[in-house]
Amino acid sequence: MKTADIEAIEVELFVDALRRRHGYDFGDYARASLKRRIAGIVAELGCRRISDAIPLILHDEDILPRVLGMLSVPVSEMFRDPQVFLGLRTHVVPLLQSYDQINIWQAGCAYGEEVYSLAILLEEEGLYDRVQIYATDINDQALARAEEGVFPLKGIRSFADNYLKSGGRRSLTEYVHARYGFAAIDDRLKRNISFAHHNLTADGVFCEVNLLLCRNVLIYFNRTLQNRVLHLFHDSLARNGVLCLGRKETLAFSDLAGRYQPLDAAQRIYRKVPALDDAIVPTVR
């Protein structure tokens, strides 16, 4: 049997051990990405082979946070893809202005940079006092860092550049303060954000929301899991709610494509429409 075939068996055993022992199912994650992440875990644990790490998954209770942290690999920055935030300002804010209470779900929030970016945008648009943001992730270590709201100062220049390109109207320094080599989010931006653990692959509807953002998470899932999660999002959105995906992600393959109207197709911002309106909804691309 070829080495690659043996490694494929080991990957399946690793995934099965994680699911059966701890209840986390990565079986529908894209295999190429999953293999790279498991290889990183194996190296981090000091093991020679994937199969050497499986007993640790089964018997070491303290290892789970490290494993989940490396499998989820949070990647984020403030105002990442500024044109997306500009699209939210242009197309979504006018829709939200009609609501007395606005619920927002940021799924897969990583270290929180994009959550706080959204809070800044809503503050500048005069909506933040009406907003409740629910920020969730599978990675509890990332959630703890996100809730703290402190980031390495070395990224602040690119953050500030992104902020201006996104339509920012002030200076980012009004919201982020330098402290001992770190950038700390102003406490007033934290008041309407709740951080919580949520597993997109296994958990149900988190809450009913007017805006749902999940960017650059679905790309790590296979099509079966992508469609399942898109159904979860659809069920979570209120009537005329807005869904924002990553720019490399799409609704086109999903059986839900006809249930959305593009608000900004290039930035993957869509508005949920009633089922009876399917026939007049433009094709989602």
Q: What is the pLDDT of residues 206-261, one digit of tens each?
A: 889 999 999 999 988 989 999 999 999 999 999 999 999 999 898 988 999 999 99
Neighbouring residues of 110: CB distance < 8 A, sequence distance ≥ 6: 74, 75, 76, 137, 139, 142, 146
Nearest-10 Cα torsion for 50, 53, 58, 62:
-140
Residue 149 Ramachandran class (φ > 0 left, ψ -120 to 50 alpha, else beta) = left
Same domain, 140 and 260: yes
Q: What is the pLDDT of residue 116?
A: 98
Mean pLDDT of 21-45: 89
Same domain, 23 and 143: no
Kind and range of the H or E run holding 147? helix 140-148
Q: What is the pLDDT of residue 218?
A: 92
Q: What is the pLDDT of residue 276?
A: 53
**Residue 178, in any domain of the structure:** yes
Q: What is the CATH number of the domain that holds 264?
A: 3.40.50.150
Mean pLDDT of 162-183: 93
- pTM for the complete prediction? 0.86
Q: Which of 30-34, 58-62, 210-214 has the highest mean pLDDT?
A: 210-214
Q: How confident is the model at residue 280 (pLDDT cuts 50, 70, 90)?
A: very low
Last residue within a domain, chosen from 37, 72, 107? 72
**Residue 63, in any domain of the structure:** yes
Structure tokens at 70: 């490396």
Is the pLDDT at 133 greater than 80? The verdict is yes
Same domain, 35 and 138: no
Percentage of the chain surpassing pLDDT 70?
95
Same domain, 163 and 23: no
Same domain, 127 and 32: no
**Residue 285, in any domain of the structure:** no
Mean pLDDT of 265-285: 71
Same domain, 30 and 151: no
Mean pLDDT of 152-172: 93
Mean pLDDT of 44-53: 93
Residue 61 Ramachandran class (φ > 0 left, ψ -120 to 50 alpha, else beta) = alpha
Same domain, 17 and 122: no
Judge contact between 213 and 181, C-beta under 8 A: no
Same domain, 173 and 257: yes
Cα–Cα dist 74/144, whole Å: 13
Q: What is the pLDDT of residue 277?
A: 44
Quickly tell me which residue has 């992104």 as its tokens.
162
Judge contact between 265 and 234, C-beta under 8 A: no
Cα–Cα dist 174/152, whole Å: 17
- What is the greatest pairwise CA distance in the chain? 63
How many domains in the chain? 2
**Residue 245, in any domain of the structure:** yes
- Judging by beta carbons within 10 Å of its beta carbon (0-12, 13-18, 19+), is residue 159 exposed, middle or buried? buried
Same domain, 175 and 231: yes
Last residue within a domain, chosen from 48, 72, 96? 72
Same domain, 118 and 217: yes
- Judging by beta carbons within 10 Å of its beta carbon (0-12, 13-18, 19+), is residue 111 exposed, middle or buried? buried
Q: What is the pLDDT of residue 284?
A: 55
Q: What is the pLDDT of residue 88?
A: 98
Same domain, 68 and 117: no
Last residue within a domain, chosen from 72, 104, 121? 72
Q: What is the pLDDT of residue 74?
A: 65
Same domain, 268 and 216: yes
**Residue 77, in any domain of the structure:** no
Is the pLDDT at 104 greater than 70? The verdict is yes
Is the pLDDT at 52 greater than 90? The verdict is yes
Structural domain of 188: 82-280
